[in-house]
Amino acid sequence: MADYTSRIEPTLRPLLRDAEKLLVASPLVSDPGTTETVSVSDELKNLLDPTLLVGLGAHPGELLRQATFGRALLGGPGSVAHSLYEAVDNEQAPALALTDRRLLVYRTELVDQPGRSRWQRWFGPVEQRTRLVHEVGREQVVGAVAAPAGVLRRGRFLLIFTDRSACALVASVSDAATRAVSEIGPPQTHIGAEGEGPA
């Protein structure tokens, strides 16, 4: 039985550059962890908001969310991790492709082939195409760490980037997460990063 990567490779081929090799592919789900630092005092103050008592306000819940799911993103707007996490979070059905040169976030679409008869159209779209949503060069990735969390997030892993940002991704295919972590490797000290010398 073929795995997801080998099945989706022909569809991904138009997104790959000359001689670029696809290593791993998997559908993604957005990690439910928090994306900002949670202030305990602000959370407690928000609980005393009178609009919450009359049903007009919404419970902030970020403290519980962080305690339950942890952090999904470390890095502010403009960081590599923030851009990647935002690209995944904004898509309805994102997927990840790891190549020897890049990390790609893409989405697949089913489209109708031109020139089909009315009878053939009755059976729906017949061609699968991919659209590139976001890409990160492999030179910007410092490393990856497996970070499974419970039954529903077995495919969770953490990506660390050269700008010292990090984000958690959850691969729907847990084996793909293991392979991606293996292909990227553990975090290495980035030589020449601000405040660091050679290892």
Domain 21-35+70-126+137-184 has CATH 3.40.50: no
Q: What is the mean pLDDT of each run of 10 residues along the chain (199 residues)?
A: 81 92 90 59 62 59 58 83 90 93 92 72 74 95 85 79 91 88 84 45
pLDDT at residue 103, rounded to an integer: 95
What pLDDT shows up at residue 199? 40
- Please name the residue that has the structure tokens 């490779």: 9
Collect all residues with Cβ–Cβ distance below 8 Å to 181 and sequence separation of at least 6.
Answer: 144, 145, 146, 157
Q: Tokens 């009878």 — which residue? A: 119
How far apart CA 33 and CA 59 sit, in angstroms, is: 17
Burial profile 115-133: b = 16 or more Cβ within 10 angstroms, e = fewer: eeeeeeeeeeeeeeebeeb
Query: pTM for the whole thing?
Result: 0.73
The pLDDT score that the predictor gives to residue 87 is: 92
Q: What local confidence, expressed as pLDDT, does residue 4 receive?
A: 86
Domain ranges of the chain: 21-35+70-126+137-184
d(C-alpha 184, C-alpha 103), whole Å:
10
- At 57 the pLDDT is 55
Report the pLDDT value the prediction gives residue 17, as an integer from 0 to 100.
Answer: 92
